[in-house]
């Protein structure tokens, strides 16, 4: 099994990617979505439970018969802020973040991704992308399905990781810093506006 990951500026694109991955035969148990929720856009339209404390866990993440996206739960990730999340990565991030709170290690989303085989450099980039308002889709796939899964993510309007990382680096960014304040809705809108065509 390998992990494929895509960052999206728009939740609708990320949601479409999840649906396309499921349609390609990847079980929803092997797909995760983590989306910035600083603007509370998912508060009324998901079946998420009450938010969990920072790094403390997931409200109501449940896969199940309705598919992955019906199991969105609220959680908070240090440095990212409020997110909606579902799937194996969300559960791992919650556990890793809880351990980080107790042990002082870098945790949350970065720990979950590196534990699943994503490089530390890429995990930092993806965490920063979610911090800046993005949505992250991650899937565990059989080696033979990696090219198809990556093609699905690209077709779903994913963020080109090399180009976006270069834009972040040009601003002086070097890595995700969980001690920084999360982006507020106005900062997220400005960030999204920079990349709209």
Question: 23-56: string of b/e by CB count within 10 Å (b at 16+)?
Answer: eeebebebbbbbbbbbeeebeeebebeebbebbe
- 90-112: pLDDT as tens digits: 766 655 444 444 333 345 778 88
pTM for the model stands at 0.80
Distance CA 15, CA 173 (A): 28
Distance CA 137, CA 193 (A): 21
Distance CA 50, CA 130 (A): 20
The pLDDT value recorded for residue 190 is 93
**What does the DSSP assignment read for the chain?**
-EEEEEEESSHHHHHHHHHHHHHTT--GGGEEEEEE-TT-TTTTTS---SPPPBTT--SS----TT-GGGG-EEEEETTTEEEEEESHHHHHHHHHHHHHHHH--S-HHHHHHHHTT--HHHHHHHHHHHHTT-EEEEEEE-GGGHHHHHHHHHHTT---HHHHHHHHHHTT--S--TTSPPPPHHHHHHHHHHH--
For residues 42 and 72, the answer to whether their CB atoms sit within 8 Å is yes
Domain spans of the chain, in order of start: 2-186
The pLDDT value recorded for residue 189 is 92
Compute the half-sphere exposure of residue 107: CA atoms within 13 Å on the CB side of its CA: 24
Provide the terminal-to-terminal Cα distance of the chain, rounded to the nearest Å.
Answer: 35
Mean pLDDT of 154-181: 94
Q: What is the mean pLDDT of the chain?
A: 79
68-82, 88-102, 160-174, 183-197: range with highest mean pLDDT: 160-174
- 124-160: pLDDT as tens digits: 999 999 999 999 999 999 999 999 999 999 999 999 9
Lowest mean pLDDT of 44-48, 113-117, 121-125, name the range.
Answer: 44-48
Mean pLDDT of 1-28: 94
């Amino acid at each position: 099994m390998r992990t494929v990951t895509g960052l999206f500026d728009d939740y609708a694109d990320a949601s479409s990617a999840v649906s396309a991955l499921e349609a390609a035969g990847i079980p929803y148990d092997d797909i995760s979505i983590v989306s910035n929720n600083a603007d509370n856009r998912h508060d009324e339209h998901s079946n998420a439970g009450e938010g969990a404390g920072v790094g403390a866990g997931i409200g109501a993440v449940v896969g199940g018969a309705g598919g992955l996206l019906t199991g969105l739960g609220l959680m908070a990730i240090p440095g990212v802020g409020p997110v909606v999340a579902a799937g194996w990565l969300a559960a791992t991030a919650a556990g890793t973040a809880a351990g980080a709170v107790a042990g002082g290690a870098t945790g949350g989303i970065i720990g979950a991704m590196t534990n699943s085989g994503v490089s530390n450099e890429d995990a930092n980039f993806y965490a920063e992308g979610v911090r800046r308002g993005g949505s992250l889709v991650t899937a565990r796939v059989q080696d033979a399905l990696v090219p198809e899964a990556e093609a699905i993510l690209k077709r779903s309007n994913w963020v080109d990781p090399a180009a976006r990382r270069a834009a972040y680096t040009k601003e002086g960014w070097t890595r995700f810093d969980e001690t920084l304040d999360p982006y507020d809705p106005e900062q997220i809108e400005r960030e999204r506006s920079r990349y709209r065509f």
